[in-house]
Homo-oligomer: A and B are copies of this chain.
Amino acid sequence: MRRKVIRTHDKKIGASPGTLVHVGERKVETVKISVFEYNAEHLTEKIPRRIEECAVRVKEPRVFWVDIAGIHQVDILEKCGAIFGLHPLVLEDILNTGHRPKFEEHDDFLFLVLKMLSLPEQGTEIRGEQISLIVGPDYLLTFQEREEDLFDGVRERLRGNRGKIRKHGADYLAYALIDAVVDGHFVILEKIGDEIERLEDELLAAPSPETLQQIHNLKREMILLRKSVWPLRELIGDLQRCESPLIAADTGIFLRDVYDHTIQIIDTVETFRDMLAGMLDLYLSSVSNHMNEIMKVLTVIATIFIPLTFLAGVYGMNFDYLPELRWRWGYAAFWGLSIVCALGMVRFFQRKKWL
């Protein structure tokens, strides 16, 4: 079944703003909560059964990362909102998985909504999962529709104390996750780039209606990808420019780097769009050329034989007085005339460069 272009809002329409209703399909059975608490020296990792356990934290300065995979249990969200003091509209946005990527600066925290894209092995249909980040002074909350492997790299770096990740605060951790999401786009773009090149070769070798269908599908994907990538750039640009005390000064250069990546993604998406448009033109031209080929064959055959058939018809007539039929060399003359006629036509077509 095809992904829906726009998600269902029915359940929400007419409800009071801030009412928490999960919008979207339920992607996992049970909500999985995982907690990392770390500083440069120590790292504690646990999987609490109830969200209330997150309220108890060590006082010592540590970064506190709560990752919630599965957002269909509204009560968990509500408790989470109560513990960390989140505005109801923020919780509503977390639940509404059809949301546009966005960035909001609140008093105590920054709120980001991202789309994590993935391309299944088979097919070219990009799937998107919504990821929401709440960046507080010393905590980071992440909400995913289902547990994604994309964050595993960051978890490994945390556990292994690799890179600078344990030395920085929650803002750097948020950056690391955003970076992982943005890098995920390159994987997809590269696959699409390969697919485009494969189609270009196919277009030159043997274009078929299936080629057209595939070009069209890719175009459709680029339209939808574009719709999600432009707000991503805007979001990261806003994040970079915002002068929130929640963002440490030395995280700025990393955000600039990730911003450069989003611009590169947009450039690539636009380039792909242009290339696909060019391929469509090429396909249409090759169909036209093909039609010309067919018409030429028909025309050459028909215009050579139609007059000859007429001539044969003439000498098949039963007139009592039809002198040529009586001639000794009549039949030979008929063939001679036919061959001259056919050669003349062939000559004519050669001069028109149809043969």
Q: Which residues of B contact A157 (CB under 8 A)?
A: 16
Instruction: Verify B299–A307 contact, CB threshold 8 A.
Output: no
- Chain A interface residue count, CB cutoff 8 Å, equals 120
Q: Which residues of A contact B (CB under 8 A)?
A: 2, 4-6, 8-10, 12-19, 87, 89, 93, 99-100, 102, 104, 153, 157, 162-165, 176, 179-180, 183-184, 186-187, 189-190, 193, 196-197, 204, 206, 209, 212-213, 216, 219-220, 223-224, 227, 231, 253-254, 256-257, 260, 263-264, 267-268, 270-272, 274-275, 278, 280-299, 301-303, 305-310, 312-331, 334, 352-354
Q: Whose C-beta in chain B lies nearest to the C-beta of A179?
A: B17
Instruction: Verify A100–B260 contact, CB threshold 8 A.
Output: yes
Q: Nearest chain B CB to A156's CB is how many angstroms away? A: 8
Top 7 nearest A-B pairs (CB, nearest first) are A312-B313, A16-B163, A14-B153, A315-B317, A298-B299, A316-B316, A301-B303
Q: Assembly of this chain: how many copies?
A: 5
The answer for the CA separation of A46 and B58 in the assembled complex, in Å, is 58
Residue among A219, A254, A306 with the most chain B CB within 10 A?
A306
Known pairs A6-B193, A212-B285, A302-B303 / 18 extra A-B pairs, C-beta < 8 Å: A5-B268, A14-B153, A99-B260, A212-B282, A212-B286, A216-B282, A223-B271, A223-B274, A284-B288, A287-B288, A290-B292, A294-B295, A318-B318, A318-B322, A320-B325, A321-B330, A321-B331, A322-B331
